[in-house]
Structure 1
Amino acid sequence: MARMTFDRRRALAGGFGLLIGLFLVLLGPAAPASAHAALVASDPGNGTIVPDAPNKVTLTFSESVQLVTGKVQVLAPDGSRADQGEPTVDGGTLTIPLRSGGGRGTYLISFRVISADSHPVGGSITYSVGAASAPPTSAIDDSKVDPVVRALIPVGKYLGYVGLVLLVGPALVLALLWPHRLSRRGPSRVIWTGMGLVGFSTLMAIWLQVPYSIGTGLFDVRVGDLRDVLGSTFGAVMLVRIGVLCAAALLLRPFLSGKGESKTDLALLGVLGVAALATWPLTGHPTASPVAGVSVVIDAIHLAAMSVWLGGLVMLGGFLLRQANERELSAILPIWSRWAATAVTALILAGVVQALIEVSSLDGLFNSTYGRLILVKAALAGLVLGVAWFSRRLVRSKQAEAEPRGLRRIVGIELAITAVVLGVTAALVQIAPPRTAEAASTASTSSTVTQTLTSSTMAMQVDIFPAAVGNNSIHLYAYTPDNKPLTVVEWTGTAALESKGIEPIQIPLLRITDFHAVGDIALPSAGQWTFKFTARTSDIDQQTLTMTANIS
């Protein structure tokens, strides 16, 4: 009766841990960012005014991207399509060809692409030809992600991680540590369950990637959209994983039955296991890392160590500590203890390297959602390590062999905590790492200040780039009130920062065309600068207009 009560408590603890893990998974998608690439530059620049219509638009991202069919366009001021032909991608550079002879006014560039780590990146920017106007409205919502799809993606990843745990570790224990006298029926069910979960999560990932990529609902999936996903890098990796699973299933049947098992089959299963593990980092953050090759290998090691350790614990707590006798346990537990120590060491080292690559700074560790989840994961891992250390002491003292109940209790606690760790891990893959946020921040701070100054007789467009301390370029454009180019005979300008006692600095301006002038000025300090520009249109007519701009 006491044993049954304990088993129930252990089962409840494990179930509670799994529920907490799933709860954290569902919380993960609520994080602020899902796009893991950042638009860092564009030509023409966002918000700038160019004198002549360009023949192409170039967008530059912080990592390589892939196109989404029909989700890149440029709209003219009248709402018509200004792009012509198919856009092209070269690494992180997206080029959109434009129709010749574009009219004056503001153009809207809207885009939705897939970043290297399989997340959609959407948004829109504007530029103007000649003069600014009311921007057109795009019918495409380029940043939309269906909330149901967003929530299901980490759930699918969680199921995949659980499947790996139930597949890799148990298969290894069954191949190398399982006593011949014990039935393989229970472990076989565990392994087939793991196989099924990995397969289901893979099919689920393929299906969800379609609405995730194009921004539609869960069941708004067309054959063409599915074909596009299968033809992408993400789809190719998923198809490889399915192929590996099918090949492994053929080899597992004789292995699990204990009949016809051979060393060649076991070696092939090992190769297939490595290939399967490699498919996880090939569709995640590691592929977009600054050191992608290192990150992919490290992530695969991390997954392998996790699968061996936790899968071995499942076999230990679920079968061996219940069914093996004292003599068998005396042979199995020391070997398992060394395996666990090696796996945990690899897990820690790989996790630290991953965190260093993705977080990149202490500020990112403490002041970002990704960094804080890393800290939560590290704290939980430390708790598990403490429990594992205690279980290793039991194994070394030989107490676990004579009385395995205590070790079973400890294994149950380890599995309950690691269920939560898996939940945090599944949430992490949906959150942009700090290095991406830093790239986006750098892009946003290196932007052009654009203002239109007006009077009764003229409109003056002012562009200041990069609006930062140091050397800045200034472009001035003059127009009549009805938005036609206005001839300016002479331009003059000054810049002052009264809050810091900086008197007006003369801005040397060069007349480029009848209505366009450029100049360069070194701004020595950050703050709210006051700019005054005078445009002389005849011997007796001139206008002086004033603006303020924040220089960072």
Structure 2
Amino acid sequence: MRVYGALAGLLVGFFAVLLGPAAPASAHAALVNSDPANGTIVPDAPNKVTLTFSESVQLLSGKIQVLAPDSSRADQGEPTVDGGTVTIPLRSGGSRGTYLVSYRVISADSHPVGGSITFSVGAASAPPSATVDETKVNPVVRALIPVGKYLGYAGLVLLVGPVLVLALLWPHRLSRRGPARVIWTGVGLITVSTLMALWLQAPYSTGSTLFDVRVGDLRDVLGSTFGAVMLVRLGVVCAAALLLRPLLKGRGNESKADLALLGVLGVAALATWPLTGHPTASPVAGVSVVVDAIHLAAMAVWLGGLVMLVAFLLPQADERELGAILPIWSRWAATAVSALIIAGVVQALIEVASLKGLVDSTYGQLILVKVGLAAVVLGVAWWSRRLVRSKSAETEPRGLRKIVIAELAITAVILGVTSALVQISPPRTAEAASSADTNTTVTKTLTDPKMAVQIDIFPAQVGNNSIHLYAFTPDNKPLTVVEWKATAALPAKGIEAIEIPLLRITDFHAVGDIALPQPGEWTFKITARTSDIDQSTLTTTATIN
């Protein structure tokens, strides 16, 4: 019963994850640029489309496509990826009109990123409709992922701290049967959590349902970085389980070499958590991975030690044994809490990136909730440390036990918050997307019975601007222009027509540059002469910021 009482606090956090509101799926990488850019009109069909993301990504088989204006596939061959840049080869001789590019990739921190962009060749048309929503995540899968993560964190707590206490602080006269059950429960939870993660990653990546998983999907997961890390975790846990048996039996035949190897395996296991999360996509990935592993280790040592205290040592150890154990444990706890705070602050500074991100984002708000709960726990821990120093805990262990139970209950909720936190995009991702290159090209299409002229103005801002002119026949075929003329005027501010010097690039394409001195609604007049006697003059307005 004492073992189950010690686990009650962890179950509180488990149900907090289950009953908490389901957050929408969050992309942890952002599309920051594309070529052609989203919503632009290009004169000729490109031979490839390039997508650039804010962090490195991995491809999913069959999850990237380009649809032509008639909804046929315009891509050919397999797309390639180089870091955060995805290149999609296109068929030659593409038709005029609007194309749809849809994509779903896996970000560096193992989360799917989906979306779509459009671009037009020659002139815009009704875009083709996508048959698959590349951004969807099954709600059951989305809800189970943080549950699986919580089980993994709980397993770490019930494994790392109890093993350390059992190896270094456990009185020889006490039975090891109860602690062994706790430790084997921790091993089981980590194993279940890892197997859940491997299974759930397949429908999470592809957007399918929980049981609509194909063998090929699982093969893709196992062949990914995520799958490799999960397999390493399983291997480390299995190896640790073999080394744990002598320690748990308590016959005195556990060697120092075995204990040292067990410590190495523990470090390796802890490292697998940050290698599949936010730290791998951090601007300083090496620092983030180390800091996150320290954060997890400190949490597991502290909370696992508290479980051993409340479930076994305080009820079973005598006054002499507690007098020897509690001061040592108090120093361990103080060190673990210090490491927890420092690592947590460093993590928050890297992921949040700004005060605005801390206050305005869901990620930042959960960080604040976690900090508030941690402050309460630290207050309780301070009181328990005071009891230990005053020696009253040795004579009144029940009072200390109640305090430790309170610590466990609150930290269980913190674990639940952490499990939700790893599924939410950090503010640095949103900032990366907002700071991406923004296309400010103004595109206008002018028509008369003889021709259509497309004018592109970039960047459509005060100062130097590039002007591109394209001529087409009424049936959207390139039209040869013998001579181009163009002017720009701002009548509202008394600026008369300024001639735009133009250079004929191809038969139907001309470029020029002009300095626009004032913002406002500028009037552009274009004259295109197609023969000695045929010419058209067309006029449009464009807003210059």
TM-score scaled to structure 1, two decimals?
Answer: 0.91
Counterpart for residue 227 of structure 2: 235
Change in 2 beyond 3 A, CA 1:194/1:470: farther
Encode CA deviations 1:427-464: one digit per residue, 9 max, x unaligned: 11111111110111123744544444455654443434
Partner SS, residue 217 of structure 1: coil
The partner residue of 1:518 within 511, 524, 531 is 511
Q: Does residue 217 in structure 1 map to residue 209 in structure 2?
A: yes
Residue deviations 1:365-395 (CA, integer Å, cap 9, x gap): 1111111111111111111111111111111
Counterpart amino acid of 1:432? S
After superposition, give the CA deviation of every residue in 1:103-122 in whole Å (9 maximum; x if it has no partner): 32222221111110001111
Shift of 1:467: 4.9
What is the match of residue 160 of structure 1?
152
For 2:423, what is the secondary structure of its paired residue?
coil
Q: Does 1:61 align with 2:53?
A: yes
AA at the equivalent of 1:304: A
- SS of 1:133's equivalent? coil
Q: Per-residue CA shift, 1:32-60, capped at 9, x if unaligned?
A: x5111111111222222222222222111
Structure 1 residues 243-252 or 130-139, which shifts more?
A: 130-139
CA contact (8 A) 2:484 2:510 kept: no
The alignment partner of 2:478 has SS state of: coil
**Which amino acid in the other structure matches residue 358 of structure 1?**
E
What residue in structure 2 maps to residue 148 of structure 1? 140
Answer yes or no: is the 8 Å Cα contact 1:47–1:448 preserved in 2: no
**In 2: Cα distance, 1:309 partner to 1:12 partner:** 15
Q: CA RMSD in A?
A: 2.6
Matched letter for residue 326 of structure 1: E
Distance in 1, Cα, partners of 2:59 & 2:149: 24
Cα distance in 2, alignment partners of residues 83 and 295 from structure 1: 38
Greater shift after overlay, 209-218 or 76-85?
76-85
Please name the residue that 1:22 is paired with: 17
| 1:399 aligned onto 2:392 | yes
The answer to whether residue 406 in structure 2 is matched with residue 438 in structure 1 is no
Larger displacement relative to structure 2 (92-101 or 438-447): 438-447
| 3-state SS of paired residue (1:386) | helix
1:310 to 285, 291, 303: 303
Displacement of 1:168: 0.6
Alpha-carbon separation, structure 1, partners of 2:516 and 2:401: 69
Mapping of residues 280-319 of structure 1, within 5 Å? 280-319=273-312
Partner of 1:492: 486
Shift in alpha-carbon separation, 1:521–1:257, aligned structure 2, 3 A: farther
Distance (Å, rounded) in 2 between the aligned partners of 1:118 and 1:502: 57
Distance 2:427 2:7 in 1: 37
Deviation at 1:535, TM superposition (A): 3.3
Distance 1:509 1:316, change over 3 A: farther
Instruction: State whether residues 169 and 311 of structure 1, in contact with CA within 8 Å, keep that contact through their aligned partners in structure 2.
Output: yes
Paired positions, count: 538
Find the aligned partners of 1:497 and 1:322 in 2 and give their Cα distance. Answer: 89
Moved more, 483-492 or 265-274: 483-492
Contact 2:10 2:412 in 1 (8 A): no
Instruction: List aligned pairs for 1:512-551, cutoff 5 A.
Output: 512-521=505-514, 529-537=521-529, 541-549=535-543, 551=545
Identity %: 76
Aligned residue number for residue 418 of structure 2? 425
Greater Cα offset, 486-495 or 418-427: 486-495
1:417, distance to aligned residue in structure 2 (A) = 0.9
In the alignment, what sits opposite 1:362? Answer: 355
Q: Is the 8 A contact 2:504 2:510 kept in 1?
A: yes
Q: Which residue of 1 aligns with 2:117?
A: 125
Deviation at 1:224, TM superposition (A): 0.7
Quote the residue 2:454 is aligned against.
Answer: 461
Q: Structure 1's 491 and 309: CA in aligned 2 closer, same or farther, altered over 3 A?
A: farther
Runs (5+) with no aligned partner, structure 2 = none
Counterpart contact for 1:21–1:422, Cα < 8 Å: no
What SS does structure 2 have at the residue aligned with 1:107?
strand
Change (3 A) 1:407 1:462: farther
* Secondary structure at 1:131 match in 2: coil
- Counterparts of 1:35-50 in structure 2, within 5 Å, are 35-50=27-42
**Offset, 1:487:** 4.3
1:325 deviation in Å? 0.8
C-alpha separation in 1, matches of 2:523 and 2:268: 62
Residue type matched to 2:102 in 1? S
Q: Is the 8 A contact 2:14 2:416 kept in 1?
A: no
Residue 186 of structure 1: how far off its partner (Å): 1.0
Alpha-carbon spacing, 1:437–1:450, altered in 2? closer, same or farther (3 Å): farther
- Render the CA deviation track for 1:329-375: whole Å, top value 9, x for unaligned: 11111111111111111111111111111111111111111111111
- Note if contact 2:298-2:337 (Cα within 8 Å) is conserved in structure 1: yes
Whole-angstrom distance in 2 between the partners of 1:22 and 1:460:
58
Q: Tell me the equivalent position of 1:200.
A: 192
Match of 2:468 among 466, 475, 487: 475
- The structure-2 alpha-carbon separation of the partners of 1:491 and 1:159, relative to structure 1 and needing over 3 Å to count, comes to farther
TM-score normalised per structure 2: 0.92
1:164-196 CA-to-partner distances (Å, cap 9, x unmatched) read: 111111111111111111111111111111111
Deviation by residue 1:291-310 (Cα, 9 ceiling, x = unmatched): 11111001000100010011
Does the 8 A contact of 1:13 with 1:413 survive in 2?
A: no
Amino acid at match of 1:380: L
Q: Deviations over 1:504-527 (max 9, x none)?
A: 7845544333433333455677x7
2:372 counterpart residue number? 379
Pair 1:177–1:50, CA change in 2 (3 A): same
